[in-house]
Structure 1
Amino acid sequence: MQYRKLGKTGWQVSVIGLGTWNIGGQWGEVDDRTALATVWRAYECGVNFFDTADAYGEPPGRSEELLGRALQGIRHEVFIATKVGNWARRHGHPLPYTSPLHIIVCCHASLYRLRTDYIDLYQCHIGNPTDAEIEVFLEAFERLKEQGKIRAYGISTNSVDALMRFNKHGTCATCQLDYSILNRAPERDLLPYCQENGIGVIVRGPLAMGVLSGKFTPDTVFTDDVRRSWNEGERRERFLRRLEIVERLRFLERDGRTMAQAALQFVLSHPAVSCAIPGAKSPQQAEANANAGDGALTEEELKAIDEIVQPGTVV
């Protein structure tokens, strides 16, 4: 496993982290034993950065609870990142986040579920917050830092405007963003801004919600809560277009490297990226993802990818 500095924090984090949205049940049923084993296998393979959110899981908070249970005994050896801003939104009961107290009470709840007395990285989970919301989040995050409840903070967004507004005081440590071979839009302005301002980049969606794993076919039917809408209409058409691109990328597969591992190594090839956080629903998936942190794509392979998906574009 390789390790890189995470922006202003100075922390050395594994280039492959573990995103724990998947273990909470929204991507299909995962029993507790499998969820805990998945986290542990990632750790055994060198992963030291674990990302979650208070909204992840069914019911919301389940992903945090499972991660907290799994990391008991090794908490001091890892970095925990969680997010705030989407609690109960999908159930129709979002918090207004009009006062720092809303964020502070959510932080206390996350600390309880994670079984820890501090969060390494606390992130705003509203992708395009208003100026008023930014003021509330920044005030809350600064209070929480002073109290020792969090160590650093950032935002999860694909909007460079939102990031710039959130970083107006130069205190934003990280940006979590959606980036993959199929979504190269961040290369236009978001990644350069992060690189110029010392903001650590955490890549979510490096496998494009599984499309870049290479395991799906035109006959695939999705049953999980997150991707069920891909079964018909425009989203189905886009899924099929993306599958065609994946077939053109099959040259990346070779002995000792899967399509998914190549996709992870692609996002890690950008110099602004600190860490990629693919999800996993089994110890085997966690191990395979972690193994991508031991290699890299060649310049020839990167040039070939550019011929299929042009830099700065989205499929």
Structure 2
Amino acid sequence: MISRRDYLRLCVAVGAGSVLAPSRLWANEKSTALITRPIPSSGEPLPVVGLGSSATFSSVAGSDDVQALKQVFTAMVDRGGSVFDTAPSYGASEAVAGKIVSDLGIRDKVFWATKLNVAGYGGGAADVARAKAQIEASFKAIDKPVIDLIQVHNLGDLPTQLPLLKALRDEKRIRYMGVTTTFPRQYEYLEKVMRNEPLDFIGVDYAIDNRVMEERILPLAADRGIAVLVYAPFGRTRLWSLVKGHDVPDWAGELDIRSWGQFFLKFVLSHPAVTCATPATSRPKNMVDNMGAAFGELPDAAMRKRMAEYIQSL
């Protein structure tokens, strides 16, 4: 088993300087089928690993040089990935990503998931107008007549914003609608919304060291037929700090795991209620590595327990 750093270095070396390294580096030849999960409300399959656009992606999007982000998109799409998660609040991410997918000619290969986050909590005409304006700005950014998914960001002002998404879905301007939160104080409210609203998706935080979602939210999503996007599967930077100086255990090779990133992702993806994880990155080699988790075996219950206990022991 090699470290994530050495593995990524190998990807670049074998690729002769390109991010498009051969698939055998990140999946056994016997297990090269891309893992997908169906969206419960439609049955449409989605690749289980996608791309988020907060954090470092957002920082690079706001710079003068976005070439690396073009390579990130290429690395994802060339490996069968499609899900891109963004939000108007992520700085320049949405607008820059819209231009990138247009320039690369991959607009129709990307499952575009954005958010609505004009939360005035007043419900007045001004709030509705601002929300509609933000939605139209998202349509302009992607330059498509239909957006795949819009979610209300962090459960903001649902009485104002959720009806707008319902109307857009009815008009077939968006294909799916949902809500998100990564705030523990909102989990109880999220459950209520999941029980009472016709959601296609939720977006939540979930990681091998952050398993609160397993208690109620993920089982409820399965029961209600709601797709789940996982944010922060690396605990943002928390898990990287935890495993610094530690090698990936040899037994992880049983699951075609080549790096810590794949270790963390495969744990998250092995929960049957999870549809797709969207870690953010601005580095093509990390996108290559992340996509490796969408191939090969996923852990069963016994292996999940072993993985979680190993992380707890560090």
Of 57, 75, 81, which aligns to 1:47?
Answer: 81
Matched, 1:303 2:301: no
Give the aligned partner of residue 176 of structure 2: 152
Q: Deviation at 1:126?
A: 2.2
Measure, in 1, the Cα distance between the counterparts of 2:200 and 2:93. 24
Q: Report the Cα offset of residue 97 of structure 1.
A: 6.5
Deviation at 1:96, TM superposition (A): 5.2
Asked if structure 2 preserves the Cα contact closer than 8 Å seen for 1:211 and 1:243, the reply is: no
- Residue 302 of structure 1, CA deviation: 1.7
Please say which of residues 27-36 and 37-46 is displaced more in the overlay.
27-36
Which consecutive residues of structure 2, in runs of 5 or more, have no partner in the other structure? 1-33
Correspondent of 1:193 among 199, 215, 220: 220
Given that 2:152 and 2:162 are in contact with CA atoms closer than 8 Å, whether structure 1 keeps it comes out as no
The number of residues matched between the two structures is 268
CA distance in 1, matches of 2:259, 2:222: 29
Which of 114, 120, 124 is the aligned partner of 2:152? 124
TM-score (norm 2): 0.76
How far 1:10 sits from its partner (Å)?
A: 2.6
Q: Is the 8 A contact 2:62 2:93 kept in 1?
A: no
Structure 1 vs Structure 2 CA RMSD: 2.8
Contact 1:85/1:97 (CA < 8 Å) preserved in 2?
Answer: no
- Contact kept, 8 Å, 1:250 with 1:259, in 2: the verdict is no
Give the deviation of 1:7 after TM superposition. 2.7
In structure 2, relative to structure 1, the CA distance for the partners of 1:182 and 1:249 (3 Å cut) is farther
Partner of 2:128: 100
Task: Mark the runs of 5 or more structure 1 residues left unpaired by the alignment.
Answer: 87-93, 217-241
**Which letter maps to 1:84?**
L
Structure 2 partner of 1:113: 141
Secondary structure of 2:233's aligned partner? coil
Give the aligned partner of residue 11 of structure 1.
44
Equivalence map 1:126-275=2 (5 Å) = 126-127=154-155, 129=156, 133-158=157-182, 159-212=186-239, 214=240, 216=241, 242-243=242-243, 247=246, 250=249, 254=253, 257-275=258-276
Which residue identity lines up with residue 199 of structure 2 in the other structure? C
Q: Deviations over 1:121-167 (max 9, x none)?
A: 1011124x4xxx22212211122223333111101125442223333
Distance 2:272 2:175 in 1: 24
Letter in 2 for 1:46: G
Q: How many percent of aligned residue pairs carry the same amino acid?
A: 28
Q: CA, structure 1 residues 138+71, in 2 after alignment: closer, same or farther (shift >3 Å)?
A: same
Cα distance change of structure 1 residues 24 and 307 upon mapping to structure 2, 3 Å threshold: closer
Residue 83 (structure 1) aligned with residue 84 (structure 2) = no
Q: Partners in 2 of 1:247 and 1:137 — Cα distance?
A: 45
SS of residue matched to 1:144? helix
The structure with the greater share of residues assigned to helix is: 2
Query: Kindly tell me: are residues 272 and 289 of structure 1, through their superposed partners in 2, closer, same or farther at Cα, counting changes over 3 Å?
Result: same
Residue 251 to residue 299, structure 1, CA distance change in 2 (3 Å)? farther
Task: State the alpha-carbon separation in 2 of the partners of residues 80 and 97 from structure 1.
Answer: 29
Q: 1:18 to 1:201 in 2, by over 3 A?
A: same
Partner of 1:228: none
After superposition, give the CA deviation of every residue in 1:155-184 in whole Å (9 maximum; x if it has no partner): 112544222333354411111110001101
Letter in 1 for 2:269: L
Q: Do the aligned partners of 1:7 and 1:274 also contact (CA within 8 Å) in 2? A: no
The residue aligned with 1:280 is 281
Deviations 1:165-213 (A, max 9, x none): 333544111111100011011111111110110010111111111343x
TM-score (normalised: structure 1): 0.76
Please give the secondary structure, in 2, of the residue aligned with 1:50.
Answer: strand
1:110–1:96 distance in 2 versus 1, CA, 3 Å: farther
